[in-house]
Structure 1
Amino acid sequence: MKTVGEVVRWWLSRIEGDKARSASYRGSMVSLMRRHVLPRMDKVRVSKLDRVLLDDKLVFPMHQELSPRTVQKALQGIGQAFRMAEGQGRIATNPLAGTTFRDFYKGKLRPKPASLSRVDLPELVPHLVDVFNRDPLRGMLPLMMLAHGTRIAETLKARWTHISLTERVWVLPEANTKTRREHALPLTPQVLGLLARYRHALPDPRLKAQWLFPVRGGSPMATTSGHALMREVSGREWTSHDLRKLMRSSLADIGIDYMVGELLINHSLGSVVETYLTRDDMERRREALERWHSRLDELGFSDAHGVEVAVPALLSNSAKVEPPGASGDSCASLGRE
């Protein structure tokens, strides 16, 4: 390989088929490389590449047009490409060895500010409930994400068989999660009621699909379609990730322990911390979600799920409410009669 373009294209051909990486990562990296890196660096010879040339042809021009985080991601991608090429002996040496984003940028990388905050909840919840009541197929996704703080790609991969009514749990298989570990979310009485109403509203062809969020033909809703739905529901005011951030910050507001909050949104806690997780973690998660959904009920969530749950029952973890038709081991039994 003699040019940067050859190295990058070879690397892209490898990651496009790498199932260990998330589809969103593969898609965004391929787009970034093809739109910004290859047009600027395609013909640059590997033997001539150094930090000065990289800055002149890629980093500085990108800084004029794009955010620092986008530039950082581009450098991470090209760095991975050269390290892999060197590791496989496809290039003699890596001219970017030791090069980092901090060689070119000394400012502080601030997280993208959230478009939703806790003060928006009193208006947000009734809006989402209204969308759900008018069209459950449009309203279910944002409500489920606000209720659980799940990532949109993980949520859209949910199958009815992942939901157990007997155990009152929703299991996200490790193949579906960003962290590549199984994630279990307790189901509160409110969510069981919401699932029953949603399933009852599904058209017959989609009712037979295995997916929680099917489209015509029975396939799962694509992530791009999910983002489009969020833009439609929000009027482009917020994103699916804003719902996740809002749920996480709200857990702290109602007194949920930091570690439990991190577990609920499936953040990686590190191998040392995870070694000491105890067997009562699921009950702690259940209590946290019951308290969170009780808070949502105060803002109108109950108008969507239609289940009456007393606050004392929630706090004692003793609420057991079966939505109509809820019998059997999975939500496949929530069919219409």
Structure 2
Amino acid sequence: MAKKPGFRTLGDVVEWWLSRIEGDRTRSEKYRASMACLMRKHVLPRVGKVALRKVDRVTLDDQLVFPMHQELAPRTVQKALQGLRQAFAMAETQKRMDSNPLAGTTFRDFYKGKLRPKPAALSRVDLAELVQHLVSVFNAEPAKGMLPLMMLAHGTRIAETLGARWGHVSLDERVWVIPEANTKSRREHVLPLTTQVLGLLRRYRAALPDARLKTAWLFPVRGGAGMALTSGHALMREVSGRQWTSHDLRKLMRSSLADIGVDHMVGELLINHALGVTTETYLTRDAMDRRREALERWHARLDECGFADAHGQKVAVPALLKNDCKPEAAGDSAVSGISTWGG
């Protein structure tokens, strides 16, 4: 295979590609970190020194794919191969090599079994106990319990939740705006704020130390910076006792929505999954109203499990609303004349 000066081995291509994606802010921090770890820990030690002229499917199978299958889950092997394909494709596109030895190669060339999704660690039957546990953590240490409660309440990803600022929360509009730069889909995501969550935010803000109130971040750490993703995962491990992850909270929220009568498409909108241009166009006109009603139902369901002990609001909303019913709030109003929380 003809090659350009500079690339002599498979490792040269991979290291060059990693140097590009590690500085690419259009990719999530989680993707960049996990791919760099995977390639440097598992791929480069096995095939990094293979000369480019010797790179083919047989070499990959013998020295990389088959050995990795003996130690790692199929999806991890698949991700490693995807990284290699992306590295070689980018090099070819930029004319850094004359031909791509991995062109047309797929994971199915090496693996014929079923790729099963990782089973969820939390199910609907765990909801009541989970809510009570998170509420007790929040009441004891609000700075520790707020992150998992916000994720369970909205089904957001941990990275986009940690990226929240007080300026993203509008009291006048009663919405939480997640900027496109913080979302996996790279499009702005707007979530209605229910009476329950507004009450939770007030209690949480009142409990923060004065030094952390001066920062713009919703989840600040000592010194004023926003909590890092690694710290967020460490917090989740501590709160869960390593029994579940942040993504399990998102899965549980999504799977529970059908139980309380939320339409499938509205549920997908809430967790910011793409539905396709036609479907999203159809839902645009009343999408926010439907999202708000769905979250009011969901948070009413959480109230049945003890959520009210964290937010302190009285909300007269049954979880299973009839289609023609409108939720009504009782007790303290969530409406405020202040446009945002500031910061």
TM-score range normalised by the length of the shorter chain: over 0.9
Does 2:95 match 1:89? yes
CA distance in 1, matches of 2:21, 2:115: 26
What does 1:39-54 align with in structure 2 at a 5 Å threshold? 39-54=45-60
Mapped to 2, the partners of 1:212 and 1:327 lie a distance apart of 20
Structure-1 separation of matches of 2:100 and 2:278: 34
Tell me the equivalent position of 2:218: 212
For residue 17 of structure 2, the aligned residue among 11, 14, 18 is 11
1:328 is the counterpart of 2:338: yes
Query: 1:104 & 1:153 partners in 2: Cα distance?
Result: 33
TM-score (norm 1): 0.96
Residue number in structure 2 paired with 1:245: 251
**TM superposition shift of 1:319:** 3.0
2:203 is equivalent to residue 197 of structure 1: yes
> 1:265 deviation in Å?
0.5
Match of 2:290 among 284, 290, 293: 284
Which one-letter code corresponds to 2:339 in the other structure? D
The 1-side partners of 2:286 and 2:328 are apart by 16
- Amino acid in the other structure paired with 2:286: D
Structure 2 distance, partners of 1:2, 1:276, is 52
Q: Could you tell me which amino acid in structure 1 is paired with residue 42 of structure 2?
A: H
The Cα offsets for residues 280-328 of structure 1, whole Å up to 9 and x where unpaired, read as 100000000000000110110000000001126985144385359x540
Give me the whole-angstrom Cα distance separating, in 1, the residues matched to 2:42 and 2:97.
23
Residue type at the aligned position of 1:331? W
8 Å CA contact 2:314–2:329 kept in 1: the answer is: no
CA distance in 2, matches of 1:164, 1:87: 44
Q: Unaligned 5+ residue runs, structure 2?
A: 1-6
Match of 1:158 among 164, 169, 172: 164
Q: 1:192 touches 1:322 (CA, 8 Å); kept in 2?
A: no
Structure 2 counterpart of 1:60:
66
- Counterparts of 1:155 and 1:137, CA distance in 2: 14
1:89 Cα shift? Answer: 1.2
Cα distance between partner residues in 2 of 1:269 and 1:43: 43
Residue 155 (structure 1) shift: 0.1
Deviations 1:224-259 (A, max 9, x none): 101111111111100000000000000011110000
Which structure 2 residues correspond to residues 297-308 of structure 1 after superposition, within 5 A? 297-308=303-314
1:267 and 1:312 map into 2 onto residues whose CA distance is 27
The answer to whether 1:76 aligns with 2:82 is yes
CA–CA separation in structure 2 for the residues paired with 1:272 and 1:92: 40
1:193–1:322: 8 Å Cα contact kept in structure 2?
A: no
Work out whether residues 317 and 327 of structure 2, in 8 Å CA contact, stay in contact via their aligned partners in 1: no
Where do 5+ consecutive residues of structure 1 fail to align?
none
The residue type equivalent to 2:338 in the other structure is G
> Contact 1:168–1:187 (CA<8 Å) still a contact in 2?
yes
1:148 paired to 2:148 = no
- Aligned residue identity for 1:66: L
Partner of 1:98: 104
Q: Which moved more, 1:194-203 or 1:307-316?
A: 307-316
Match of 1:176 among 182, 195, 214: 182
Please say if residues 63 and 71 of structure 1, whose CA atoms lie closer than 8 Å, have aligned partners that are also in contact.
yes
Q: Secondary structure at the match of 1:184?
A: strand
* C-alpha contact (below 8 Å) 2:270/2:291 kept by paired residues: yes
* Partner AA of 2:40 in structure 1: R
Q: Residue 144 of structure 2 corresponds to which residue in structure 1?
A: 138
1:25-40 aligned within 5 A: 25-40=31-46
Tell me, yes or no, if the aligned pair for 1:206 and 1:215 is still in contact at 8 Å. yes
How far the C-alpha of 1:279 sits from its partner, in A, is 1.6
Across the two proteins, how many residue pairs are aligned to each other? 332
Q: Distance in 2 between matches of 1:86 and 1:103?
A: 21
Q: Percent identity?
A: 74
What is the RMSD of the two structures over their aligned residues, measured on CA atoms? 1.6
CA distance in 1, matches of 2:25, 2:327: 39
State how far apart, in whole Å, the 2-side matches of 1:310 and 1:272 are.
36
- Structure 1 runs (4+) deviating above 6 angstroms are none
Q: Which amino acid aligns with 2:122?
A: L
How much does 1:273 deviate?
2.5
Distance 1:260 1:59 in 2: 40
